[in-house]
Amino acid sequence: MLRPEQMSRVSVTGSKRVIDDVIEAAYTHHSLHVTDYDDRYEGFEPGTSLDGAETVNERLVTVRSLESILDVDEGDADVARSLDDDELVDELERVRGRVNELNDERDELQAAVRDRQEEIDRLEPFAELGIDLEYLRGYDSVEVVVGEAKPAAVEEALEDADSVDVFDVFAGGDVVAIVARPPDSDAEGVVQDALVGVDIALLDVPDADASPEEYVAELEAEQADLRDELSGVERELESVKEEAAGFLLRAEEQLTIEAEKKEAPLSFATTENAFVAEGWVPTETYPDFEAAIADAVGDHVEVEELERASFTPDGDHHAEPVDDEGGGSAEGSAADAERETETAVATDGGHAAHGTDDPPVVQDNGGAAGPFELLVQAFGRPKYSEFDPTLLVFLTFPAMFGFMIGDVGYGVLYAAIGFFMYSKFDGAFRELGSVAMWAGGFTILFGIYYGIDLFGYHAYQLLGIHWPVEGKGLSPADLDWGLSFLVVSVVFGILHLNVGHVLSFVSTAQQHDLKHAVYEAGSWLLILNGAWIWIFSRVFPNSKPDFLFEAVSVLTFGAVSFSGFPVLIGWAGAAAAVLGLVLLGIGEPPELAEFLSPVVNVISYARLMAVLLAKGGMALAVNLLAFGAYIDDGGDGSFHFIFSADYLAEVQNTADYELVFAGITTAFDPASIGLVGVVALVGGIVVALVGHVVVLLLGVTSAGIQAVRLEYVEFFGNFYEGGGRAYLPFGRDRKYTRDD
């Protein structure tokens, strides 16, 4: 699971007269990741599409256009038999004619509705003005101008204009109608010239004699009629969709398959009489692939396993020895196939000179770890030469998330949301749902460990039982637990980074040699472990905080104690760190600038404890506001929530209790129900619900992002780059049609 599936590079070489059958067999087997022709073959040229490809693509474009017009979705069809060519063409022509007719009619009606609306919008200013349209045009001796402007500014400009003899201004809001007579009756445009310095938007007067209100009413009636017609057309289109959606989805799938088959030779190397198709298949499926081709065309092609991708000292893949049984010709007479192929190639004067290319990556993570490929691929698909960290992410991401949230209530909700996504969606959302279920499960487990935390409330107090873990470190009584969780975070970081450096060591040793592995990865292992052994040792004990050595006793309830590594071990750790620096300086001198990164990166894992306290503190704050809380033991104990008015009175009268906040709901007294008490009760419940929803959502954005960051930056940074090619086998799984 830490390596991708082994891939075999294969070639299929044969005469063009069987190319259709070879394509059909390869497509049905659905295992060959075809590599494109890239001028590696002397005398060969890129292939061309098979006959009929253009027609198939035209039909496919038509089908997809009709699906878009009808808004067809994936749930509109059931599985049915494939359509023969005549049946598909006839039905497609019928559906296209009907849909195009209705769509054109719908477009015309929609355009007419828009035109009426634009005309209505244009008339709104005239309705505000309140003057019949016939009075705003058709004069010879006076000039009429209508526009949107400030009436005072218009009047001032006209009074100052010498070109205007007499004028009057009618206003309705910011709409003005100006009637003016110039001194010269033959003059035109004098009003507009006079208003050059005024901020005015001129309006064209509509060609109608009715009042603006009557004209708008007429337009609205026309618009309503058009909308009724439009609704009728849309109902007809919906009826056509119900009738034709299944056919269109089946036709699209069938035509897509045909198009892919007919365009497959574009990736082949061809001559006039021969072709060579190359690609990658999982090594374990190669015998089945070879048999499938042989069943289809017998001895007319040669199927050859060219190489099995593995790792070499130079870091690239190479051809492992392939025996005759695993990598020979197709079943039957291999000699006959080779002879026929060589004859075809020789006729064209070509020679196939095989090249190399990187194999695609098939991540081998079944079962529970499989969905976590989504998180790995978000960073980058692993290269074929890299370790696949999916299993490690599966083992660590949910644990980190659960550690940071640690609440039974939130965990149940996360798991429920994940189950909903897992059961209702496909693809990435389904995988994300599985990740959420695992994260929710670990959140529940840690919530139980932290004192049966239920939305920030320690349920063990309600149950009246003793619980060894006193909390998350939020109250005075459990500060030691908070510091212990800091040590847990750091130790987890040390272990996590060790795994990353070990994988880097193994990978470097496989791709290069042991010396490179020691210099490039072994040096960091020595620095990391040596430095932290020194930190956790009794060397200079007075300069180190006590909780480094007390955490083990706290976490094991006193069963195990740890006073630190002996001084001798501590100095040995320091020596190992110095040796690591020396090896790093010999092998990778520029990286000496980052010699503190093993310490800094481990400290970065302290964010686990920080988010734990932050999320716990937010839940505590929500409950504190809603229900009130006090601390027992004179302020040195643990938080306890109040909930009721009677309990609040008891807390206030108990000297050993330190009231932190009275809470909203405690204003409600069942013995004397009043408006204020009811409002307080409802308000407190709303605060609790909204607050916990916020904490739930922030848990995803804080704990989720921080856990992903630790995986991507601190962990992956030691051994993983990503950037591998996805495995895209030739063929597809049918969804709407049966391959009858």
pLDDT in tens, 559-588: 888 989 999 999 999 999 999 999 999 998
Which element (helix H / strand E) includes 585? Answer: helix 567-587
Return the CATH number at 168. Answer: 3.30.70.100
Residue 186's pLDDT is 60
User: Is it the case that residue 326 has pLDDT exceeding 50?
Assistant: no
Whether residue 506 lies inside any domain: the answer is yes
pLDDT band at 107 (very low <50, low <70, confident <90, very high): very high
Euclidean distance between CA atoms 221 and 209, whole angstroms: 18
Q: 495 and 601 share a domain?
A: yes
- Counted domains in the chain: 4
Residue 549, Cβ neighbours under 10 Å: how many? 19
Residue 323's pLDDT is 55
| CA atoms within 13 Å, Cβ hemisphere of 334 | 12
pLDDT band at 600 (very low <50, low <70, confident <90, very high): very high
Q: What average pLDDT score do residues 145-152 get? A: 86
Residue 338's pLDDT is 47
Residue 183's pLDDT is 74
Mean pLDDT of the chain: 87
Residue 334's pLDDT is 39
Q: How far is CA 534 from CA 207, 521, 584, 676, in A?
A: 94, 20, 19, 62
Segment 194-218, tens digit of pLDDT: 888 888 888 888 777 677 788 888 8
For 33-37, 161-165, 455-459, 481-485, which range has the lowest pLDDT when averaged over its residues?
161-165
Q: 520 and 560 share a domain?
A: yes
Apex CA 96: angle with CA 90 and CA 98, to 5°?
Answer: 105
User: Is it the case that residue 257 has pLDDT exceeding 60?
Assistant: yes
User: Is it the case that residue 335 has pLDDT exceeding 60?
Assistant: no
Mapped onto helix, strand or coil, the DSSP state of residue 66 is helix
Q: 516 and 588 share a domain?
A: yes
Q: Which amino acid is at 433?
A: G
Residue 311's pLDDT is 52
Q: What average pLDDT score do residues 677-699 get? A: 92
Q: Between 322 and 7, whose confidence is greater? A: 7
User: Is it the case that residue 77 has pLDDT exceeding 90?
Assistant: no
Return the CATH number at 311. Answer: 3.30.70
User: Is it the case that residue 662 has pLDDT exceeding 80?
Assistant: yes
pLDDT band at 61 (very low <50, low <70, confident <90, very high): very high
What phi, psi does 150 have (nearest 5°)?
-80, 120
Contact 50, 322 (CB under 8 A): no
Q: How many residues are there in the chain?
A: 740
Q: What average pLDDT score do residues 414-423 get? A: 96
Q: 633 and 678 share a domain?
A: yes
Q: What average pLDDT score do residues 689-704 get? A: 93
Contact 645, 667 (CB under 8 A): yes
Q: 641 and 563 share a domain?
A: no
What is the dihedral sign for C-alpha 145, 149, 150, 154?
Answer: negative
Residue 358's pLDDT is 82
User: Is it the case that residue 314 has pLDDT exceeding 60?
Assistant: no
Structure tokens at 441: 């499960």
Q: 521 and 568 share a domain?
A: yes
Whether residue 556 lies inside any domain: the answer is yes
User: Is it the case that residue 355 has pLDDT exceeding 50?
Assistant: no
Residue 337's pLDDT is 45
Residue 112's pLDDT is 94
Q: 626 and 560 share a domain?
A: no
Whether residue 194 lies inside any domain: the answer is yes
Q: 599 and 627 share a domain?
A: no
Q: 277 and 196 share a domain?
A: no
Q: What average pLDDT score do residues 93-103 get? A: 94
pLDDT band at 325 (very low <50, low <70, confident <90, very high): very low
Which of 355, 351, 338, 349 has its CA nearest to residue 15?
338
Whether residue 569 lies inside any domain: the answer is yes
Q: 293 and 193 share a domain?
A: no
User: Is it the case that residue 282 has pLDDT exceeding 50?
Assistant: yes
What phi, psi does 374 have (nearest 5°)?
-60, -45
Residue 532's pLDDT is 96
Which of 357, 266, 264 has its CA nearest to residue 306?
357
Residue 347's pLDDT is 45
Segment 488-527, tens digit of pLDDT: 999 999 999 999 999 999 988 988 889 999 999 999 999 9
Domain boundary among 332, 348, 364: 348
Domain boundary among 549, 576, 605: 605
Segment 702-728, tens digit of pLDDT: 999 999 999 999 999 999 999 899 999
Q: What average pLDDT score do residues 24-33 get? A: 95
Which element (helix H / strand E) includes 402? Answer: helix 390-405
Whether residue 497 lies inside any domain: the answer is yes
Residue 185's pLDDT is 61
Structure tokens at 449: 């460990």
Residue 330's pLDDT is 33
How does DSSP assign 104-166, residue by residue? HHHHHHHHHHHHHHHHHHHHHHHHHHT--GGGGS--SSSEEEEEES-HHHHHHHHHH-TT-SE
pLDDT band at 695 (very low <50, low <70, confident <90, very high): very high
Domain boundary among 319, 348, 377: 348
Which structural domain range is residue 621 located in?
615-699
Whether residue 130 lies inside any domain: the answer is no
Residue 302's pLDDT is 94
Euclidean distance between CA atoms 56 and 465, whole angstroms: 74
* 115 alpha-carbon distance from chain centroid: 42
Apex CA 139: angle with CA 135 and CA 144, to 5°?
Answer: 65
Residue 462, Cβ neighbours under 10 Å: how many? 11
Q: Between 311 and 60, whose confidence is greater? A: 60
Whether residue 301 lies inside any domain: the answer is yes
Strand partners, 7: 282
pLDDT band at 354 (very low <50, low <70, confident <90, very high): very low
Q: What average pLDDT score do residues 323-339 get? A: 43
pLDDT band at 360 (very low <50, low <70, confident <90, very high): very high
Q: 542 and 642 share a domain?
A: no
> Which strands, in side-by-side order, build the sheet including 166-172?
166-172, 175-181, 143-148, 201-203
Q: How far is CA 483 from CA 486, 554, 599, 640, in A?
A: 5, 10, 18, 21
Q: 620 and 671 share a domain?
A: yes
Whether residue 396 lies inside any domain: the answer is no
| Terminal C-alpha separation, the chain | 37
Q: What average pLDDT score do residues 119-144 get? A: 79
Angle at which helix 53-70 crosses helix 85-129, to 10 degrees, equals 40
